[in-house]
A and B are shown apart, each in its own frame.
Chain A
Amino acid sequence: MKTKKKNYSSYAILTIFSLYMIFPFVSTTLYAMSTDWSKTILPTDFTFQWFVELIQDPNFNSAVLRSITLTLTTLAVVLVVMVPTVFLVYMYFPKVDSFMKGLVLMPYAIPGVILATGLLRMYSGSSIPMYAVLVGGLFIGSLPFMYQGVRNSLESIQTKSLIEAAEILGANKLTAFIRIILPNIKLGLLITTLLIFSSFFGEFVLTNLLIGGRYETIRIYMLRRMNENGHLASAVMVSYFILLILISLIITYLTSSKRKEKMKRKAKKVTLKNKEDMTITPQ
């Protein structure tokens, strides 16, 4: 009888890759959980001291709060402006679409330092607050994710046919958009939003150059504390990394086929329960 030959080289490559990815995280975690690690392979002691210190530091909490505020403000602006824009371009200005696709890739072509320098030259000394300029800068940075994310969501649900069907049934464009399109792209929007959230939450270049110490976000806080205490900086890094893992897990859960199956089973249960209500005779 033939047995399936084990592919040891594939396992070896996979193991090396996993070690390469996990080793820095494990090392940082160990460093964040020790007070002394200099002459031994493993730390000589383990402690949660740095995590406790971090949580008790009002500056850390303020930095987290500032990062969240900045990220949510920017996200709100991005969603309010971009979702209707992408919808209008997709539905009614398809010729503009190819132009937009190229345009939204510009943030990849322009390095953050150049963007920040340009924004500083343009707006420093003007009446526009630098916080608003920063939100604007981050908005530009979100365009590649947002435009393509929303566009793909619209394409996947046959938006044109759905809008036409709703209009023929008597709905106006706004009603059709709110009641049909938005609920159907909300999962795609949520995933895009989470991706942008994780990217903005750790944004450093623009924030540091445009506002810097005046508005200390988590990444600027990390840089400052790194110079003071490496263990504490590692604890910040680990906390930040865990947050990103949580976001990834949420995205994986939202897009998992098991979850969809679960929802379908739930729908079927409701059907069986309501079957008795369906015996009304039409007049």
Chain B
Amino acid sequence: MSYIAIDNLSLSFGDNKVLKDISLTIEKGELVTLLGPSGCGKSTLLRVFAGLEVFQEGQVFLDGEEISNVPSKNRNVGMVFQSYALFPNMTVYENIAFGLTIKKFSKSEIKQKVIAALQLVNLEDKADFYPDQLSGGQQQRVSLARSLVTEPKVLLLDEPLSALDAKIRKQLQIDIRDLQKKLGITMIFVTHDQEEAMILSDRVFVMSEGNIVQQASPAELYAQPKNNFVASFIGNYNIILADELKQLDRTFSPKSGSNKYAIRSETIHLEPIKGENVLHFQGILKEYTVLGSTIRCYFNAGAINLTVDLLNSEINIGELEGTSELYINKENIIAIDE
């Protein structure tokens, strides 16, 4: 049996069904992400696992034991909140020591563990500070230390980096991943940021309207989106119908049963591609945006709008005015569900 298992779980708030027959498994030491737009049920699923929401149907297992009816205080899970949820009346030291005090560790053990936790998050010199004397990033580090110090079986992180600015967020992403690898702890991370999910995760569960629509490794998810929703949520995919592709190049023959196709923006080229398995057509550049190392170009190919990402170092945007020849390797045209 997997380390974590959720079987056919459903949850409603009144008439609103928030989680619909969800099943998933997570192995020990994995870092998985629940990814999806606001209101898709990802935080609710995490809170169900923490014992903070009551569900109507299904079962939840942790380390071989059913915990569906175990109160959150007895689940031995850690949780990091988006709002940090640090206790304002306690210093950083007291915040981290809180869980150990409740579990009745001796004073010397508490001191030793708290200091180790502080060193883990590089906040040794902030032990006597109060939460409101720390920056957002520092507060989230304290929250992380407080959750880890009790050595939980699994650490749940509910959009922990959403309230931080971009630079600190990126640093903490790296720190969290390093910590997870160093401690070998199982983590479930909730985010609506696909880039964050890609950086952090071993596996990503993409959620939409209370369902898990796809679960895969970041690379697999990016290369093989299962449907329209995943393709548009994960990357800059061009979603094109079979008939439209045929209009672009008569040599295109649709796969049986597939009417919708996804093409990643970086797989459309301006230079000819060797081989016969290539779709070739013309497009007119309408607009472009410089994104740093890449330039995002918006082409019109007949009635079809296409987004194309080109390497900034390899093209001179001035030469693209007017009509351009566009090439796509047919292997990069992915059939997706409706």
Q: What is A's interface to B at a CB cutoff of 8 Å?
A: 157-158, 161-162, 164-172, 175, 179-180, 183-184, 264, 267-268, 270-271, 274-275, 278, 280, 282-283
Listed residue (B73, B79, B86, B88) with the most chain A CB atoms within 10 angstroms of its CB:
B73
A169 to B113, CA, bound (A): 15
**Pick from A158, A171, A283: contact of B102, CB under 8 Å:** A171
Q: Are B89 and A267 in contact (CB under 8 A)?
A: no
Which chain B positions have C-beta within 8 A of A278?
Answer: 115, 118, 124-125, 127
- The residue in chain A whose Cβ has the minimal distance to the Cβ of B88 is A184
The verdict on B61 contacting chain A, using a C-beta distance below 8 Å, is no
Which chain A positions have C-beta within 8 A of B304?
Answer: none
Q: What are 7 residue pairs bridging A and B, where the CB atoms are less than 8 Å apart in the complex? A: A165-B79, A169-B102, A170-B74, A170-B102, A267-B91, A278-B124, A282-B119
Interface residue total, chain B, C-beta cutoff 8 A: 42
A62 to B98, CA, bound (A): 48
**Pick from B78, B115, B129: contact of A168, CB under 8 Å:** B78
A175 to B104, CA, bound (A): 13
- The residue in chain B whose Cβ has the minimal distance to the Cβ of A185 is B89
A165 to B52, CA, bound (A): 10
| CB of A259 to closest CB in B, whole Å | 14
Q: With A164-B72, A168-B72, A278-B124 as given contacts, are A268 and B150 in contact (CB-CB < 8 Å)? A: no
The verdict on B20 contacting chain A, using a C-beta distance below 8 Å, is no
A180 to B90, CA, bound (A): 9
The verdict on B254 contacting chain A, using a C-beta distance below 8 Å, is no
**Pick from A162, A172, A183, A270: contact of B128, CB under 8 Å:** A270
The verdict on B87 contacting chain A, using a C-beta distance below 8 Å, is yes
- The residue in chain A whose Cβ has the minimal distance to the Cβ of B86 is A165
The verdict on B234 contacting chain A, using a C-beta distance below 8 Å, is no
Give chain B interface residues in 109-132, CB to chain A under 8 Å.
Answer: 111-113, 115-116, 118-119, 124-130, 132
A268 to B115, CA, bound (A): 18
A27 to B256, CA, bound (A): 98
A172 to B74, CA, bound (A): 10
Q: With A267-B128, A282-B115 as given contacts, are A184 and B89 in contact (CB-CB < 8 Å)? A: yes
Q: With A175-B102, A180-B87, A267-B130 as given contacts, are A168 and B112 in contact (CB-CB < 8 Å)? A: no
Q: What is B's interface to A at a CB cutoff of 8 Å?
A: 50-52, 71-75, 77-79, 81, 83, 85-89, 91, 98-99, 102-103, 111-113, 115-116, 118-119, 124-130, 132-133, 146-147, 150
Q: Are B79 and A268 in contact (CB under 8 A)?
A: no
| CB of A35 to closest CB in B, whole Å | 54
A180 to B77, CA, bound (A): 20
A264 to B146, CA, bound (A): 22
**Pick from B74, B98, B115, B133: contact of A267, CB under 8 Å:** B133
- The residue in chain B whose Cβ has the minimal distance to the Cβ of A274 is B128
Q: Are A157 and B72 in contact (CB under 8 A)?
A: no
Which chain B positions have C-beta within 8 A of A267?
Answer: 91, 128-130, 133
- The residue in chain A whose Cβ has the minimal distance to the Cβ of B115 is A280
Q: Are A165 and B73 in contact (CB under 8 A)?
A: no
Q: Are B112 and A158 in contact (CB under 8 A)?
A: no
Q: Are B77 and A168 in contact (CB under 8 A)?
A: yes
A165 to B84, CA, bound (A): 9
Q: Are A170 and B127 in contact (CB under 8 A)?
A: no
A168 to B158, CA, bound (A): 13
**Pick from A165, A171, A275, A280: contact of B85, CB under 8 Å:** A165
Which chain A positions have C-beta within 8 A of B72?
Answer: 164, 167-168
Which chain A positions have C-beta within 8 A of B88?
Answer: 157, 184
Q: Are A168 and B79 in contact (CB under 8 A)?
A: yes
Q: Are A169 and B98 in contact (CB under 8 A)?
A: yes
Q: Are A183 and B146 in contact (CB under 8 A)?
A: no
Q: Are B83 and A158 in contact (CB under 8 A)?
A: yes
Q: Are A165 and B125 in contact (CB under 8 A)?
A: no
Q: With A157-B88, A170-B103, A180-B87 as given contacts, are A264 and B118 in contact (CB-CB < 8 Å)? A: no
Q: With A184-B88, A267-B91 as given contacts, are A168 and B127 in contact (CB-CB < 8 Å)? A: no
- The residue in chain A whose Cβ has the minimal distance to the Cβ of B89 is A183
A52 to B125, CA, bound (A): 58
Q: Are A168 and B83 in contact (CB under 8 A)?
A: no
Which chain B positions have C-beta within 8 A of A184?
Answer: 87-89
A37 to B126, CA, bound (A): 65
Q: Are A280 and B129 in contact (CB under 8 A)?
A: no
